[in-house]
Structure 1
Amino acid sequence: MLQPRQLLACLVPLLLLVPSARAETPTPEGGHGPSAAYRWLDIVLEATAREVERRGARPTVISRAHAISVTAMYDAWAAYDARAVGTRLGASLRRPPSERTPARKQKAIAYATYRALVDLYPEDAAWLAQQMSGMGYDPNDTSTNLATPQGVGNTAAAALLAWRRHDGANQFGDEPGSSGAPYSDYTGYAPVNPPDVIIDPDRWQPISFDDGQGGTVTPGFLTPHWYKVRPFALTTSAQFRPPPPPKVGSARLAQDVQEVIDYNANLTPEQKALVEFMRDGPRSTAQSGHWLRFAQDVSRRDHQGLDRDVKLFFTVGNAALDAFIAAWESKRYYDSSRPWTLVRYYHAGDTLPGWVGPGQGVDWIPAEQWHPYSPSTFITPPFPGYVSGHSTVSAACARVLELFTGSDAFGKVEQLTAGALTEPGFACNIIQQREGVPSQDTPEDCQVTLALPTFSETAELAGISRVMGGYHIQADNIAGLELGRQVADFLWPRARAYWAPGTN
């Protein structure tokens, strides 16, 4: 693994690797342009973005919605494959060879994905129905006749949704002990630290954000019960629980906190762009959505067809689900603090260099005013630090992409503008000013080219971006990357066994 400070400086050329024997071998499938699975994934991600606009980013909840959607898609498709079995109904939906046509596959996929999305996002039912009608399908067709593709899709989705209805996520707010709100906690979690006092610096502390309307809001731990959600492949959420994080009083933690301070005071335009790219913006579809978009990049790059797209999206979506579940188990078990708390604890009463705010650059500030490189309306994600969810999910998805394609090579390049999501409207030399003096050696437009040569480097960049941004210490990142790879290596043969039974 590259050392964190080498990552941006050492983006190597695209690696050309020999395909793994375990990889999913491409099969020519004919046709051009995005497959039906690709187009439905676009709809899934847009529905997610609409939900984020209504309720804010809930990455755990989003990952489950994505996993359900791509699994419904897969289960419907499997009925028209000669070998694949569905996740819930096995081979019982198998259709005869005469029915295994592209049109029937596409129609079954449409109905299954549509039914899943209406269950997950009922407020968008009308919009989703428009998407169905636009494709020439009747959204009101609830047939379960397995001789028809709509019957296959509806049946596959119903079985999956029934299995997920009480999977621990509390989608319907009906778990005993919950508030009755969808996805609310039912495990009785309460933080040790209030927002304004550090009682135990090793434990998580809620943070008050600006609410964008002149007031403040203090979010609680987002879905602290997520360790109870039923995984796709893991035997338990604690299966790969990492060792404990460093504690106050250890040299390791002091070093990690100082690293965060140093990054915050010296972010380059390239690093700011990386932080923002991996953090995403107001309609963020979270890490699962980010990596499903990367899977779409692979689909375009490799000219994939419907069958291969279905299998790829199914694998990536469920890798993200299990990675989130494993990460949240660690977060809940260790309940560890974040840099916001640790900087204030270690440097109480001190003055240190730090980012002042949009268009103000870096200056000397009291430690009590130290702020991650993030908008005041979303200072730091509202849940404990260890392990980093970005690191865990990115490592898991990167690994299954490598295993699926047989190569670590990615080859994506992003053109970004540093500061666009955090301090828009300011010239680059202004956002890079120090002690009130504009930078003399930065381009005015802050345009940045971000290379993502391999899946594994992309995951490592996602992880280190969280340290650079001030949301995590390095220990959170390193343990998260390792956890994600463990999840992926366990999940991959189990996912592949659905569409290629008897292989390993």
Structure 2
Amino acid sequence: MRRLYMSPRRWSATALTALTVGTAIAVVPTAPAHAAGPTDHVLYWNDVLIRTFRQVGGSPGPLARAGAMVHGAIYDAANSALCADGADRCIGQPYRTKVAPTAGVRPDLATAIDYAAYDTLRSIWPSINFAADLSTAQQDIPSSSARTDGQRMGSASAQAMISFRANDGSPDTSTYADGTVAGQWRRTGSGEPADPSWGLLRPFAMTSNTQFRPGPPAGYTSYAQLLASKAYADQVNEVKSFGAVNSTTRTADQTQAAWFWANDLNGTYKPPGQLFTHTQIVAKSAKLTQAGNARLFALVGLAMGDAAIVAWDTKYQTSIDLWRPESAIHEPQDDNNVDTKPDATWKPLSADTNGVNFSPPFPSYTSGHATFAAAWAGAMKGFFSTDAFRFVGTTEDPHASGVLRSFTGFSAAATENARSRVYLGVHYQFDADAGMSSGSALANHVTGNFLRPAVPAYAFDGFYEGQVKYDSSYPDGVAGGSMTLTFGLSANGTPVTDLNAVVGVSWNGQPGAGSGAVSVVNGRYQVTILPGKACGLRGQTLSVLLRDGSSRNLFVTCTVV
């Protein structure tokens, strides 16, 4: 428990935002992502990637694979460029390669990122021209040996990734025969079975495709046992009630959450794009450096790339390829369960832009949305060393135009994402639970074994304001005022003054909140924060994220004047 110091000043507290609705979020057209050279090239190419998701559409697996490839290559390129200044400047362990620099040349970091992304994108989608995006990214970078070496490093990093993914099982051209027994998946009119063999794809980080496969639904390995169980009946009846297009059980907020997380339609950024966008929102709030973003987006990308494999392995490669709730509720076949009643008129809430209700064209168990969400949340927690990061998320689903939702942390967002599929009428709750379990275990594996910081652990001498030291609590900030804090770092007894040793800084995980850029003054790191009105007795937290993967937090309570 934090110790709070009392002050003779007047104290007050204000409530934190729970849910807001903002202006409409437009789908970005297929055009270069920026009109001027970007300040952060990792975010720039993530924008290009998400734009391409909208353009190509399709099922989530190939999009997640593309995200893992692009951001894995970007990470290796950025890491190689920074390692050129010495091992203590590396971001972390290489993923596929560490390209050696040319002697006497300091490679340009931005250029390395640009060519890693550009070459990888071209290999994934050879029919799409990304030349304008590359030109925009490079337009402010003058010709030099640094730029030339950065290009070499970026292209080499891309080629290492491209070679690694050659013949990995993509594209998936396999076919799948509809089920013929009760419980087995069959088409519901929304299209051909999507990527039946995606679960056999070569993993990005897992040791095997089945490493994080969940157990069977409700523990049953045969359709007859499952469909006759009370657990199955409870699941069917829940989604029948909460997920119906005309449900009187589902609340307005649950309906909004269902649409907010859907993004199943082509033309949206799809589930992987939504989670990448939420990663951007958090990264900008935390004021991450390009190096920090390179590592964060690679961790998220690798986790989601394998999440698709885990989910599709479970959907198609196990003993139960479970039918969607739509089929379960419609089918008149005898499931030997007196607690389920067929209803041929039932429709899920899920619908296209013409109002035609549909279920996604692949088996229900396990939930891809839930697996992606948990993998994303776990990667975010692993990077930030905390789950308590507040952020406001966006959506591109046309049924939730303009909706923003606020979350107290990564797990809270993932849990809502998973549950939303029941409200949408396309999944059972055990689909969501299994996806969350698999995705969380996968993310822990990724963050525990890949892209680990390569520098020694930093010693931190505490936060100081002038000569006053604060270890973990600042008792008397002024809401609406400012505080300039300093801190010192050392590694193995040697002072560290490299600005890139501080990966990012955030104030209570709030987008747009008041924390300035970090600088180095007289051998010490310095940051100014501007506590807002919400910083009352309940307090808020300044977080500083370091290159060694650790974070340092200062809990601040305030007087409101």
TM-score by length of 2: 0.65
- 2:122 partner amino acid: V
Partner of 1:191: 178
- Give, in whole Å, the separation in 2 of the partners of 1:337 and 1:382: 10
User: 2:240 matched to 1:261?
Assistant: yes
- Is the counterpart of residue 485 in structure 1 residue 445 in structure 2? no
Counterpart residue number, 2:274: 290
* CA 164–146 in structure 1, closer or farther in 2 if over 3 Å, else same: farther
Which one-letter code corresponds to 2:138 in the other structure?
G
Contact 1:145/1:151 (8 A) holds in 2: no
Which of 302, 305, 310 pairs up with 2:286?
302
Preserved CA contact (<8 Å) 1:391 1:484: yes
1:91-490, aligned counterparts within 5 Å? Answer: 91=98, 93-95=99-101, 99-100=105-106, 104-125=108-129, 128-136=130-138, 148-170=149-171, 183-185=172-174, 189-192=176-179, 199-209=180-190, 219-246=191-218, 247-263=226-242, 264=244, 265=247, 266-280=249-263, 281-332=265-316, 333=318, 334-345=320-331, 367-376=343-352, 379-414=358-393, 421-422=398-399, 450-490=405-445
Q: 1:397 deviation in Å?
A: 0.8
Q: Distance in 1 between matches of 2:395 and 2:131?
A: 35
**What is the aligned partner in structure 1 of residue 26 from structure 2?**
none
Check whether the contact 1:412–1:453 (CA below 8 A) recurs between aligned residues.
yes
Query: What are the superposed Cα offsets for residues 389-444 of structure 1, whole Å, 9 maximum, x if unpaired?
Result: 11111011101101111111232235889xx83499xxxxxxxxxxxxxxxxxxxx
For residues 446 and 163 of structure 2, the distance between their equivalents in structure 1, rounded to whole angstroms, comes to 23
Total equivalences in the alignment: 394
CA shift for structure 1 position 474: 0.8
CA shift at 1:307, angstroms?
0.3
CA shift digits 1:253-296 (9 cap, x unpaired): 10011111221313333222211110125423322222111111
Unaligned runs of at least 5 residues, structure 2: 1-14, 19-37, 84-89, 219-225, 335-340, 458-547, 550-561
The Cα of 1:81 is off from its aligned counterpart by: 2.5
CA contact (8 A) 1:44 1:66 kept: yes
Partner of 1:8: none
1:291-322 CA-to-partner distances (Å, cap 9, x unmatched) read: 11111111111111100000000000110011
CA distance in 2, matches of 1:315, 1:421: 29
User: 1:37 and 1:473 mapped to 2: Cα distance?
Assistant: 37
**Greater relative contact order structure (CA < 8 Å, 6+ sep):** 1
Distance 1:479 1:369, change over 3 A: same
In the alignment, structure 1 residue 87 sits paired with structure 2 residue 95: yes
Distance 1:461 1:423 in 2: 15
Contact 1:373–1:422 (8 Å) recurs in 2:
no
The amino acid that maps onto 2:227 is V
Distance 2:253 2:329 in 1: 24
User: In 2, distance between residues paired with 1:475 and 1:383?
Assistant: 16
Distance between the aligned counterparts of 1:129 and 1:244, measured in 2?
Answer: 47
Letter in 1 for 2:307: A
More off after superposition, 148-157 vs 266-275: 266-275
Q: Secondary structure at 1:270's aligned position in 2?
A: helix
Query: Hey, what's the Cα distance between the residues in 2 that align with 1:275 and 1:45?
Result: 22
- Distance, in Å, in 2 between the alignment partners of 1:189 and 1:410 is 42
Distance in 2, matches of 1:67 and 1:493, equals 17
CA drift at 1:369 = 2.1
Report if the CA contact (8 A) 1:204-1:337 is conserved. yes
Q: Give the whole-Å Cα distance in 2 for the aligned partners of 1:75 and 1:295.
A: 19
Residue 493 to residue 448, structure 1, CA distance change in 2 (3 Å): closer
Q: What is the CA–CA distance in structure 2 between the aligned matches of 1:87 and 1:35, rounded to whole Å? A: 21
Tell me the equivalent position of 2:64. 63
In structure 2, the partner of 1:46 is 51
> Aligned to 2:331, what secondary structure does the other structure show?
helix
> Does 294-303 or 76-85 show the bigger shift?
76-85
The 1:145/1:100 distance shift into structure 2, 3 A limit, reads: closer
Does structure 2 retain, via aligned residues, the 8 Å contact 1:62–1:285? no
The residue type paired with residue 132 of structure 2 is Q
CA contact (8 A) 1:111 1:153 kept: yes
The 2-side partners of 1:487 and 1:85 are apart by 19
CA pair 498-121 structure 1, distance change in 2 beyond 3 A: farther
Higher share of residues assigned strand: 2
Contact kept, 8 Å, 2:82 with 2:109, in 1: the verdict is no
Give structure 1 stretches of 5+ with no counterpart: 1-11, 16-32, 171-182, 193-198, 210-218, 349-364, 425-446
Give the C-alpha shift of residue 36 in structure 1.
Answer: 1.1
Which deviates more, 458-467 or 489-498? 489-498
Deviates more, 1:128-137 or 1:365-374: 365-374
One-letter amino acid of the counterpart of residue 251, structure 2: T
**1:375 alignment partner AA:** A
State the TM-score, normalized to the length of structure 1. 0.72
CA radius of gyration, larger in = 2
8 Å Cα contact 2:101-2:149 kept in structure 1:
no
User: Any idea what the Cα deviations from partners look like across 1:156-181, whole Å, max 9, x if unmatched?
Assistant: 111211221211123xxxxxxxxxxx
- Structure 1 Cα separation of the partners of residues 53 and 379 of structure 2: 23
1:61 shift after superposition: 0.7
